[in-house]
Copies of this chain bind each other. A is one copy, B any other.
Amino acid sequence: MTISENRQFRPLPVPSVSIGGYWGDWQDAVCDETAKTLLDRCVSARMLEQINPDVPSPGVVLPIMNWGGTTQMFWDSDMAKSIETIAYSLYRKPNAELERRADEIIDMYAKLQDADGYLNSFFQRIKPEWKWSNLRDFHELYCAGHMIEAAVAYYQATGKRKFMDVMSRMADYCVAKFGYGPGQMRGYCGHEEIELALVRLARETGNQSYMDLAKFFVDERGQAPNFFMEEAKAFGRDPKGWQKNILEYSQSHAPVREQSKVVGHAVRAMYLYSAMADLATEYNDDSLTATLETLWADLTQKQMYVTGGIGPAHSNEGFTDYYDLPNDTAYAETCASVGLVFWASRMLGRGPKRLYADTMEQALYNGAITGLAMDGKTFFYDNPLESTGKHHRWIWHPCPCCPPNIARLVTSLGSYIYQVADDEIAVHLYAQSEARVELANGAKFTLTQKTDYPWSGDIAIEIAPEQSATFAVSLRIPQWARAAKLCVNGQPIVLFDLGADGYVRIEREWAKGDVIQLTLPLEPRAVRAHPYVRQNAGRVAIMRGPLVYCMEGADNGVGLNSVLLGNGLGKAQTAVIPDLRGAIAIDLPVLKESAGAWGNALYAEAEAATEAVNARLVPYHLWDNRAPGEMLVWMRNA
């Protein structure tokens, strides 16, 4: 059997996948709580006053910062991501009131839009004189990108075209405004986002000019003379800017194909690489793919937390030095892990590789979903891997980018579980779900996963074609799942000759009643970090399947750094935690240094006495959902 080298995998549309089980619970939390919460808090923040052309402008509500702008410039993006969340949630749980409110906002945007298609509530209503004056810092195209994504989602979920038509006009405006032609700007946005949004819009509308504009933005980025340097000079600003390494900060220090190190603001980097991966797929662009492979290795081999968190530093919301991964001060913004999920998903566009899907899963379960409380009501912005008990989820944030970002990811998860090519469906993630699929080769089928994953590793996949049909089903065998077992209709398939890509590709004529049984062993395992990661020296992180575990004060009291794993892992047992929605805990015997026996001295020559105690570990992403207290991922080994 020959596999085309130019396969193009694209996500299933969100409405094609129904989700239950573990992720169904998360989707319910977002539908029942987060979606409305987001909209309410956007309204409380006075965003509607900025958008609605029928009320007086609120003026500058949030202060002008050292970079010359205000986070109020991002309001359209916050509102757009909230509408995108509502769109997905409407599909799962119809909600007339939410839909009415979204329609009302969309009507405002339609009314606000200029005759030439331009649309940005801040620059139209608050600071018209700043329009296109500072692409580097002012997020003008970034906002358009998020509005485009929301518009596509809203169309897919409701069938209503109005918002997508509005944003298509804005996209047309941008197609005219930006380009290599005379009178056009050869610029791009300091915060990448519009690029991947234009790909989504092009895929939905079939309008190639949107795809080409995305390619223009990517190709132009970092070319000499540097647009941001020229722009700063033209507007009389110091080109050195307000942030150290201002060009690296926005990945515009070199043409993208010459970049080999992941630098700068983490979310920006992820959004850029996501667009690059989309374009690599759409244009079969090997030069982009080669660059992305280098950047992928740079990120995942030198700069990523075990949680899939990225960007350790608060100062630039981004990357620092190789192997610099402090746990207690980790920034590891929720949005950055969401962005890593985006990028990883898009790296699968040219064919399934567990290199990407394993990391997508790692970031999804540990770096991203951690940003949301189980009840869907509060949010982490930064995600440390150690806490002395003072870090808790927020109700809201001055820059509320993370809450709607994790919410839209959760509610659109179907698109990340499954991708399809002409004659193939790839199952990247395991989750209770039903996918309704029609392939380009004509095969039409329902694929149903029955599983309690991630708590259980037993997965049954039923393939039910309307009529028997030939296509391939590719299943990821995670790298951690040694001794995984696979049967098709009860017949074992030997996995030892898995390809380097780590997927089992089952190509056959499928008929109703066909069942794939996959068993992924979920033995708890201890993971160690590269010796250069000084913060994790002598420490291990316990994982089970894709989940990173942690100790919490709620189960283990104070002094988590006094706990020594020793050889307790071999005696680990699992237990269900009812107050964490049935999550699986890992209980194991450990040693604990006794503070009581130590006495008053701060320093002494004697070793601390230890006592044998039991420790309980819980999934990291569920921490801070019970009583506040200490938390620790990297526990001492011995």
Contact = CB atoms under 8 A, between A and B. Distances in A.
Interface of A: 297, 300-302, 304, 306, 321, 324, 329, 386, 388, 525-534, 537-538, 541, 558-562, 564, 593-595, 598, 600-608, 636, 638
B531 A595 contact: yes
B537 A302 contact: no
Contact of A301 (B559, B602, B606): B602
A593 B529 CA distance: 11
A591 to B, nearest CB: 11
B301 A528 contact: no
A378 B306 CA distance: 40
Given A525-B605, A537-B561, A598 B638 contact: no
B601 A301 contact: yes
Given A531-B593, A538-B564, 10 more contacts: A300-B602, A304-B602, A324-B388, A528-B606, A529-B602, A531-B559, A531-B608, A532-B558, A533-B602, A638-B638
A571 B604 CA distance: 21
B301 A530 contact: no
Contacts of A538: 538, 564, 636
A502 to B, nearest CB: 15
A608 B532 CA distance: 11
A564 B561 CA distance: 18
A235 to B, nearest CB: 25
Contact of A607 (B528, B530, B600): B528
Contact of A594 (B531, B537, B562, B564): B531
The number of times this chain is found in the oligomer is: 2
Contacts of A559: 531-532
Closest 5 CB pairs of A and B: A534-B561, A537-B561, A531-B593, A531-B562, A531-B595
Contacts of A529: 602-603
Contact of A306 (B534, B564, B603): B603
Nearest to A563: B537
Given A531-B608, A601-B530, A537 B562 contact: yes
Given A306-B603, A526-B605, A638-B638, A598 B531 contact: yes
A595 B529 CA distance: 11
A59 to B, nearest CB: 25
Contacts of A561: 531, 534, 537
Contacts of A541: 603
Contacts of A537: 561-562, 593, 636
A210 B233 CA distance: 61
A635 B529 CA distance: 17
B636 A528 contact: no
Contacts of A600: 297, 301
Q: Name the residue among A531, A600, A605 with the largest chain B CB count within 10 angstroms.
A: A531
Contacts of A532: 558-559, 562, 595
A397 to B, nearest CB: 20
Contacts of A606: 528
A541 B603 CA distance: 10
A560 B323 CA distance: 13
A603 B636 contact: no
Nearest to A604: B528
A533 to B, nearest CB: 7
Q: Name the residue among A329, A526, A541, A593 with the largest chain B CB count within 10 angstroms.
A: A593
A186 B534 CA distance: 52
A418 to B, nearest CB: 27
A304 B601 CA distance: 11
Contacts of A306: 603
Nearest to A320: B388
A459 to B, nearest CB: 23
Contacts of A531: 559, 561-562, 593-595, 598, 608
A602 to B, nearest CB: 5
A529 to B, nearest CB: 6
Nearest to A321: B388
A356 to B, nearest CB: 15
Contact of A530 (B525, B526, B534, B598): B598
Nearest to A594: B531
Nearest to A297: B600
A304 B558 CA distance: 21
A301 B595 CA distance: 13
25 contacts: A297-B600, A301-B600, A329-B329, A386-B534, A388-B534, A525-B605, A526-B605, A527-B604, A528-B604, A528-B608, A529-B603, A530-B595, A530-B602, A531-B559, A531-B562, A531-B595, A531-B598, A532-B562, A532-B595, A533-B602, A534-B560, A534-B561, A537-B561, A537-B562, A537-B636
Contacts of A636: 537-538
